[in-house]
């Protein structure tokens, strides 16, 4: 079901009480002035007024008054998911790192594996070679397992092996005889100060790289880095630095919750040795960001997660809902109580190009509108799009 959504600017509706009769009947031939001076003709089915006490359906007979202070009748106020049910709770989280497949194989339609990968150390000189000792954290293979070459090429070796060469001379620098989902060859950039940065395929990345031969003669490429660095990269890739601060905070909490949910689930990608993919099948991640607005939003929400009945939620999000979101079972297989469809009167203030994405969970353009046009906090944004959820702090 699609709704036409309009918002009434407070300054333009001081005298709306005079239109009481028309609001109750929605009589044909009656006209109403919107905040952007557009004329709305009755009947008002599908129109909503937004005020400090909630959202009123203008065509409903129970709407008796909407003034500059947003007063509406109590029974017709509407708040989407109902707001956060609590905060400052605690939820156990599994790890502080994320393993992201940049190039991978999961069937013919999802095959981005490569024949070689060229890495360049941007902040220092050289790389160390090793393994992911617990599947996540870099362990150097030996004191001699390193090179001072700043550019290296990684290629498939014999069998399921992986080999590392100098990108300049083609000299063999290091190799692993066998790799697999639990045995990636890991590479860490040397740096004298701060965090290492590696350039790969036109993008820049914090953290380590890891490689495995999970398909004949083609590489799976993985980036392994601290959770909060990953969350910042997702925010930059999904919405960008120019989103309002509160919308960026909402995106950060959703992205952090989403990836930790899948880490806890230990399904889908887990058998391949990674947690999520870097594309739209999970959440888009295109490498590091140095944007102050994004780093500030991630820092402000550090270690915050959305939970339902004490458990992490599958915090889905998408670009635009076109006026209302869908419940999980309308799009996917499972019915999840925290993913209930809501009428969204906010998004239309900034977006009028219809739905984009699966429409389950949080609308990114709706979050933008709530923050920019209606001064909503990130807690209010999250509590609107997700039903019955809490904001909890992670612990290990």
Claim to verify: residue 194 and residue 233 sit in the same structural domain: no
Give residue 88's pLDDT band: very low, low, confident or very high (50, 70, 90): confident
Claim to verify: residue 253 and residue 348 sit in the same structural domain: yes
Claim to verify: residue 206 and residue 350 sit in the same structural domain: no
Structural domain includes residue 107 = no
pLDDT at 152: 98
Structural domain includes residue 102 = no
Claim to verify: residue 56 and residue 187 sit in the same structural domain: no
- pLDDT tens readout for residues 233-290: 999 999 999 999 999 999 999 999 999 999 998 776 777 889 999 999 999 999 999 9
Claim to verify: residue 134 and residue 279 sit in the same structural domain: no
Q: What is the mean pLDDT of residues 363-367?
A: 98
pLDDT at 35: 55
Cβ proximity of 288 and 204 under 8 Å: yes
Sequence-separated (6 or more) residues with CB below 8 Å from residue 6: 34, 38, 40, 47, 48, 348
pLDDT of 344 higher than 70:
yes
The secondary element (H helix, E strand) that includes residue 147 is strand 146-147
Single pTM value for the model: 0.84
Which has the higher per-residue pLDDT, 133 or 238?
Answer: 238
pLDDT at 225: 97
Give residue 96's pLDDT band: very low, low, confident or very high (50, 70, 90): very high
Claim to verify: residue 18 and residue 63 sit in the same structural domain: yes
How high does pLDDT run on average in the chain? 85
Q: What is the mean pLDDT of residues 185-205?
A: 94
Question: Which of 78, 103, 134 is where one domain is finished?
Answer: 78
β-strand 317-318 against 362-363: which pairing, if any? parallel
pLDDT at 50: 64
Cβ proximity of 246 and 275 under 8 Å: no
Cβ proximity of 222 and 214 under 8 Å: no
pLDDT of 230 higher than 90:
yes
**DSSP 3-state of 201:** coil
pLDDT at 43: 58
Question: Which of 78, 105, 130 is where one domain is finished?
Answer: 78
pLDDT at 42: 57
| Lowest model confidence (mean pLDDT) among 43-47, 92-96, 116-120, 379-383 | 43-47
pLDDT of 2 higher than 70:
no
Tokens of 226: 């601290």
Long-range contacts of 155-159 (CB under 8 A, 24+ apart): 155/115, 155/116, 155/219, 156/115, 156/213, 156/217, 156/218, 156/219, 157/213, 159/213
pLDDT at 193: 80
Claim to verify: residue 188 and residue 291 sit in the same structural domain: no
- pLDDT tens readout for residues 325-337: 999 999 998 999 9
Cβ proximity of 23 and 58 under 8 Å: yes
- pLDDT tens readout for residues 11-64: 233 233 323 323 333 444 455 555 555 556 655 555 666 655 556 555 544 444
Give residue 97's pLDDT band: very low, low, confident or very high (50, 70, 90): very high
Structural domain includes residue 232 = yes
Give residue 72's pLDDT band: very low, low, confident or very high (50, 70, 90): very low
Claim to verify: residue 246 and residue 383 sit in the same structural domain: yes
Which has the higher per-residue pLDDT, 170 or 83?
Answer: 170
Structural domain includes residue 309 = yes
pLDDT at 304: 97
Structural domain includes residue 108 = no
Give residue 106's pLDDT band: very low, low, confident or very high (50, 70, 90): confident
Question: Which of 182, 216, 250 is where one domain is finished?
Answer: 216
Claim to verify: residue 237 and residue 351 sit in the same structural domain: yes
- Tell how far CA 127 is from the center of its chain: 31
Claim to verify: residue 250 and residue 187 sit in the same structural domain: no
pLDDT at 269: 78
For residue 74, give its domain range. Answer: 10-78
Percent of the chain with pLDDT over 70: 80
Q: What is the mean pLDDT of residues 303-312?
A: 96
Cβ proximity of 284 and 238 under 8 Å: yes
Q: What is the mean pLDDT of residues 128-142?
A: 94
Q: What is the mean pLDDT of residues 352-363?
A: 96
Label each residue of 67-124 as H, E or C: CCCCCCCHHHCCCCCCCCCEEEEEEECCCCEEEEEEECECCCCCECCECCEEEEECCC
Cα separation, 49 vs 13, whole angstroms: 10
pLDDT at 315: 98
The β-bridge partners of 220 are 212
- Tell how far CA 89 is from the center of its chain: 22
């Amino acid at each position: 079901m699609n709704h036409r959504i309009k918002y009434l600017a407070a300054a333009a509706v001081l005298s709306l009480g005079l239109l009481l009769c028309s609001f109750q009947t929605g009589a044909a031939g009656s006209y109403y002035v919107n905040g952007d001076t557009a004329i709305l003709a009755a009947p008002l089915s599908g129109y909503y007024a937004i005020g400090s006490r909630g959202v009123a359906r203008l065509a409903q007979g129970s709407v008796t008054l909407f003034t500059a202070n947003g007063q509406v009748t109590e029974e017709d106020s509407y708040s989407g998911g109902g707001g956060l049910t609590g905060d400052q709770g605690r939820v156990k989280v599994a790890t502080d790192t994320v393993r992201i497949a940049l190039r991978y194989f999961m069937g013919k339609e999802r095959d981005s594996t490569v024949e070689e990968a060229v890495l360049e150390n941007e902040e220092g000189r050289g790389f160390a070679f090793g393994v992911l000792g617990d599947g996540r954290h870099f362990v150097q293979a030996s004191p001699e397992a390193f090179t001072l070459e700043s550019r290296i090429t990684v290629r498939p070796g014999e069998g399921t092996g992986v080999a590392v060469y100098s990108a300049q001379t083609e000299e063999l620098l290091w190799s692993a005889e066998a790799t697999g989902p639990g045995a990636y060859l890991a590479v860490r950039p040397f740096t004298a100060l701060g965090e290492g940065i590696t350039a790969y395929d036109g993008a820049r990345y914090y953290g380590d790289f890891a490689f495995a031969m999970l398909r004949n003669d083609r590489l799976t490429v993985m980036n392994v880095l601290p959770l909060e660095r990953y969350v910042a990269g997702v925010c930059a890739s999904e919405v960008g630095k120019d989103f309002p601060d509160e919308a960026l905070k909402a995106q950060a909490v959703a992205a952090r919750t989403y990836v930790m949910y899948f880490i806890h689930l230990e399904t889908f990608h887990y058998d391949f040795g990674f947690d999520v993919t870097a594309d739209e099948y999970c959440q888009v991640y295109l490498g590091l960001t140095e944007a102050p607005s994004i780093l500030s939003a991630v820092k402000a929400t550090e270690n915050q997660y959305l939970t339902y009945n004490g458990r992490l939620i599958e915090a889905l999000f998408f670009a635009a809902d076109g006026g209302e979101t869908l419940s999980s079972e309308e799009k996917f297989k499972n019915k999840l109580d925290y993913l209930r469809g809501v009428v969204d009167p906010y998004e239309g203030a900034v977006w009028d190009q219809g739905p984009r994405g699966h429409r389950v969970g949080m609308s990114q353009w709706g979050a933008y509108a709530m923050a920019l046009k209606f001064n909503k906090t990130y807690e209010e944004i999250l509590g609107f799009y997700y039903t019955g959820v809490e904001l909890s702090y992670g612990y290990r």
